[in-house]
Amino acid sequence: MRLWERSLKELSELVRKKEVKPSEIVSSFIDRKNQVDSKIKAFVSYTDELSLEEAKKKDEEIVKLDNIPSLYGMPIAIKDNISTKGIRTTCSSKMLENFTPVYDATVIEKLKSQGYIIFGKTNLDEFAMGSSTENSAFFTTKNPWDLERVPGGSSGGSAAAVASGQALASLGSDTGGSIRQPAAFCGVVGLKPTYGRVSRYGLVAFASSLDQIGPITRTVEDTAILMNVISGKDSRDSTSKDIPVEDFTQFLNRDIKGLKIGIPKEYFPEDLDNHIRERILNVVKQLEKEGAVVEEISLPYTKYAIETYYIIAPSEASSNLARFDGVRYGYRTKEYSDLEEMYSKTRDEGFGPEVKRRIMIGTYVLSSGYYDAYYLKAQKVRTLIYKDFMNAFENVDVIITPTTPDVAFKIGEKSSDPIQMYLSDIFTVSVNLATVPAINVPCGLKDNLPIGLQIIGKPFDEGTILNVAKKVEDLSGFKLKFFNY
């Protein structure tokens, strides 16, 4: 087996035993990237020279180390809305096309403390606004399983990089499903942690009350390893919670006898694709045979989740993106007669159509006369959605749903219909509104495309959903395929 085909856990063990050098691993991934990324287009920025240089330093340092960290020499890709010191961070927008941060995000600092090696910045929907990576200002990333289909979004580049064997793992961000949905479409594992579990410092903000950084990996165990590193309180992020970080790998392979699984009827509507319904419920039956207790539950306010999300998220976006005005950093229009024209032309030229659409929606619902009718009402419904989940978790330990209503759709299929595009997040947005953790695990195929199963957990109970996810991974028999293009 070639090095780039192995899991993070396997390569980490080989490095720790000093059987493989970090430079050999990085070289293997560079070779794979050179072979396939011209077709996949997962990366906005390559860091090949820097990655190899860092790896060679690690080769020399490792000789003197007794305790080798878990991520030492591991090449990990980073979504291009996470700040990386000295490395371009574009948010896949013309607005930040040439922006180079002067500081690292907290998650990058944590990865560096473990000796990781940055392996490129990955493509996304502009400012993380989208579900297909078709909204990138630069290019559309392709799904590794079918180059005519989308990889999902907004972390499409991160998921495609992992699924195509170009990156060992990656970090993404999830505001309404942006880790889980592309993970589902690309057949990899993606975890949206509890809001406050992972610091948002250095993440370019889309919707600050919803955004959360999380890992995308090939296996559940690899996700647990990454969560051990990136989790924890950060004094620079007032929303991060001071909750002890347990060793998430210790939760894997625990007995699930007596564990209560809730199946919400609202997530299995009559018009859900039958193949997806049957595949997920079949896996649930297998969990039942392992001793889990399954019961149908109701999350009645789920039906309002999409509408609530698309009021709250654009409102926060319109506020957060006001800083991009051409004055301090980022793109500035070349020709203007006064300050007001500079602002308007800069924003018109610098932002793409989807970002403009969401800024306008957000500005509208926050405006005088509409605030109470839309934004305030949406916040009240958000509270009801949160209470739905808390009530459910009084009786069950986890909730299982489909991650997406169908498998990956074709490039261009939904780009002319924003409503249909937004509905592809119908099973994921409520998790962000409720601030709870959820993970996507691939559980089968439909038309040779991956099906995603979503496991939702109680706040800060990532350990339990990782344990159930590992069981699903083992029982489903799904294997990630690497293709030659």
**344 a catalytic residue:** no
**Beta strand extents in 99-224 (DSSP E only):** 117-122, 169-173, 189-192, 213-217
Catalytic residue among 154, 199, 415, 476: 154
Tell me the pLDDT band of 330, cut-offs 50, 70 and 90. Answer: very high
**154 a catalytic residue:** yes
Which pLDDT does position 457 carry in this prediction? 98
Which pLDDT does position 299 carry in this prediction? 97
Which pLDDT does position 418 carry in this prediction? 84
Q: Where are the domains of the chain?
A: 1-485
The pLDDT mean for the chain works out to 96
Which pLDDT does position 239 carry in this prediction? 97
CA 169 – CA 172 distance, rounded (Å): 10
Burial class (CB in 10 A: 0-12, 13-18, 19+), 417: exposed
Which pLDDT does position 424 carry in this prediction? 85
CA 404 – CA 442 distance, rounded (Å): 11
Choice between 453 and 415, residue whose per-residue pLDDT is larger: 453
Which pLDDT does position 423 carry in this prediction? 84
Could you report the per-residue pLDDT of 67-76, keeping only the tens digit for each?
999 999 999 9
Among 416, 430, 209, 399, which residue's Cα sits nearest to residue 307?
A: 430
Q: Are 102 and 27 in contact (CB under 8 A)?
A: no
Which pLDDT does position 422 carry in this prediction? 86
Which pLDDT does position 416 carry in this prediction? 84
Tell me the pLDDT band of 328, cut-offs 50, 70 and 90. Answer: confident
**Beta strand extents in 13-135 (DSSP E only):** 43-45, 75-79, 117-122
Q: Which superfamily, per CATH, for 1-485?
A: Amidase signature (AS) domain (3.90.1300.10)
Q: Given a cut of 80, is residue 1 above it in pLDDT?
A: no
Task: Kindly state the helix (H) or strand (E) to which residue 294 belongs, with its residue range.
Answer: strand 293-297
Q: Are 9 and 470 in contact (CB under 8 A)?
A: no
Could you report the per-residue pLDDT of 212-241, keeping only the tens digit for each?
999 999 999 999 999 999 999 999 999 999
Tell me the pLDDT band of 485, cut-offs 50, 70 and 90. Answer: confident
Could you report the per-residue pLDDT of 257-284, keeping only the tens digit for each?
999 999 999 999 999 999 999 999 999 9
Catalytic residue among 23, 28, 178, 315: 178
One-letter identity of residue 379 = Q
Tell me the pLDDT band of 419, cut-offs 50, 70 and 90. Answer: confident
Could you report the per-residue pLDDT of 284-326, keeping only the tens digit for each?
999 999 999 999 999 999 999 999 999 999 999 999 999 999 9
The pLDDT > 70 percentage for the chain reads: 100
Q: Which residues pair with 79 in a beta bridge?
A: 122
Q: Are 388 and 299 in contact (CB under 8 A)?
A: yes
**257 a catalytic residue:** no
Could you report the per-residue pLDDT of 74-129, keeping only the tens digit for each?
999 999 999 999 999 999 999 999 999 999 999 999 999 999 999 999 999 999 99
Catalytic residue among 21, 58, 79, 192: 79
Instruction: Tally helices (H) and strands (E) across the chain.
Output: 15, 11
Q: Given a cut of 80, is residue 402 above it in pLDDT?
A: yes
Rg (the chain; Cα; Å)? 21
DSSP class per residue in 214-266: EEEESSHHHHHHHHHHHBS--TT-TTS-------GGGGTT---TT-EEEEEGG
Which pLDDT does position 420 carry in this prediction? 87
Q: Given a cut of 90, is residue 20 above it in pLDDT?
A: yes
Query: Which residues are CB-contacts of 314 (< 8 A; sequence separation ≥ 6)?
Result: 207, 358, 359, 361, 362, 365
Which of the residue ranges 136-150, 254-268, 419-433 would you say has the lowest mean pLDDT? 419-433
Judge if the upstream peptide bond of residue 415 is cis by omega within 30 degrees of 0: no
Which pLDDT does position 329 carry in this prediction? 86
